[in-house]
Amino acid sequence: LGAYDAIVVGTRAYAVRPDLAASNRRLLEYARSGGHLIVLYQTQEYTPETQAPYPASLPGDAQEVSEEDAPVTVLAPAH
Protein backbone atom coordinates (compact mmCIF):
# COMPACT_ATOMS: atom_id res chain seq x y z
CA LEU A 1 0.00 0.00 0.00
CA GLY A 2 3.01 2.26 0.41
CA ALA A 3 2.87 3.15 -3.28
CA TYR A 4 -0.21 5.32 -2.58
CA ASP A 5 -0.07 8.90 -1.26
CA ALA A 6 -3.50 8.48 0.32
CA ILE A 7 -6.24 5.88 0.65
CA VAL A 8 -9.88 6.92 1.02
CA VAL A 9 -12.34 4.39 2.44
CA GLY A 10 -15.74 5.36 1.05
CA THR A 11 -19.02 5.97 2.80
CA ARG A 12 -20.48 2.76 4.29
CA ALA A 13 -17.62 0.72 2.81
CA TYR A 14 -17.40 -1.56 5.87
CA ALA A 15 -21.12 -2.33 5.41
CA VAL A 16 -20.83 -3.52 1.81
CA ARG A 17 -17.25 -4.85 1.59
CA PRO A 18 -16.61 -7.67 4.11
CA ASP A 19 -13.10 -8.04 2.69
CA LEU A 20 -12.33 -4.53 3.93
CA ALA A 21 -12.64 -5.59 7.57
CA ALA A 22 -10.33 -8.52 6.82
CA SER A 23 -7.76 -6.10 5.36
CA ASN A 24 -8.13 -3.51 8.11
CA ARG A 25 -4.82 -4.40 9.77
CA ARG A 26 -2.96 -3.58 6.53
CA LEU A 27 -4.71 -0.22 6.35
CA LEU A 28 -3.74 0.63 9.92
CA GLU A 29 -0.13 -0.40 9.28
CA TYR A 30 -0.14 1.86 6.22
CA ALA A 31 -1.35 4.79 8.35
CA ARG A 32 1.12 4.09 11.17
CA SER A 33 3.91 4.07 8.61
CA GLY A 34 3.03 7.60 7.54
CA GLY A 35 0.35 6.95 4.91
CA HIS A 36 -2.72 9.16 4.76
CA LEU A 37 -5.80 7.05 5.52
CA ILE A 38 -9.17 8.80 5.30
CA VAL A 39 -12.26 6.89 6.45
CA LEU A 40 -15.56 8.50 5.51
CA TYR A 41 -18.88 8.03 7.33
CA GLN A 42 -19.52 4.41 8.35
CA THR A 43 -22.47 2.53 9.85
CA GLN A 44 -22.82 -0.11 12.59
CA GLU A 45 -20.62 -2.58 10.72
CA TYR A 46 -17.62 -0.38 11.53
CA THR A 47 -16.29 -1.08 15.02
CA PRO A 48 -13.87 1.67 16.07
CA GLU A 49 -12.90 -0.30 19.17
CA THR A 50 -10.92 -2.63 16.90
CA GLN A 51 -10.83 -0.99 13.47
CA ALA A 52 -9.79 2.59 14.28
CA PRO A 53 -6.13 3.57 14.72
CA TYR A 54 -6.85 4.76 18.28
CA PRO A 55 -9.28 3.45 20.89
CA ALA A 56 -12.75 4.86 20.29
CA SER A 57 -16.39 4.00 20.77
CA LEU A 58 -19.71 5.01 19.28
CA PRO A 59 -23.02 5.16 21.15
CA GLY A 60 -25.18 2.18 20.33
CA ASP A 61 -28.33 4.28 20.36
CA ALA A 62 -27.11 6.93 17.92
CA GLN A 63 -29.76 8.10 15.52
CA GLU A 64 -29.04 8.64 11.86
CA VAL A 65 -30.56 11.31 9.65
CA SER A 66 -30.03 10.64 5.98
CA GLU A 67 -32.41 13.21 4.57
CA GLU A 68 -30.81 16.57 3.86
CA ASP A 69 -34.17 18.34 4.26
CA ALA A 70 -35.05 16.67 7.59
CA PRO A 71 -35.97 19.01 10.46
CA VAL A 72 -33.22 19.66 13.00
CA THR A 73 -33.86 19.74 16.75
CA VAL A 74 -31.22 21.40 18.93
CA LEU A 75 -31.00 19.24 22.06
CA ALA A 76 -28.52 21.36 24.03
CA PRO A 77 -28.70 24.98 22.82
CA ALA A 78 -26.15 26.19 25.39
CA HIS A 79 -23.57 23.61 24.33
What global pTM score does this model have? 0.67
Q: How many domains does the chain have?
A: 1
Q: Domain for residue 42, yes or no?
A: yes
The 8-class DSSP code of residue 55 comes to -
Q: What is the DSSP letter of 53?
A: S
Look at residue 23 and tell me if it is in a domain.
yes
* pLDDT tens digit sequence for 6-26: 999 998 898 899 899 899 999
Residue 69: CA count within 13 A, CB half-sphere: 0
> Under a CB-based contact definition with an 8 Å cutoff, are residues 38 and 9 in contact?
yes
Any domain includes 59: no
In terms of pLDDT, which residue wins out, 10 or 64? 10
The answer to whether residue 57 is domain-embedded is no
Residue 13 within any structural domain of the chain:
yes
- The H or E element containing residue 50 is helix 48-51
pLDDT > 70? residue 63: no
**Domain span at residue 18?**
6-51
Q: In this structure, is residue 28 part of a structural domain?
A: yes
- Residue 53 one-letter amino acid: P
Tally of CB atoms within 10 A around 39: 19
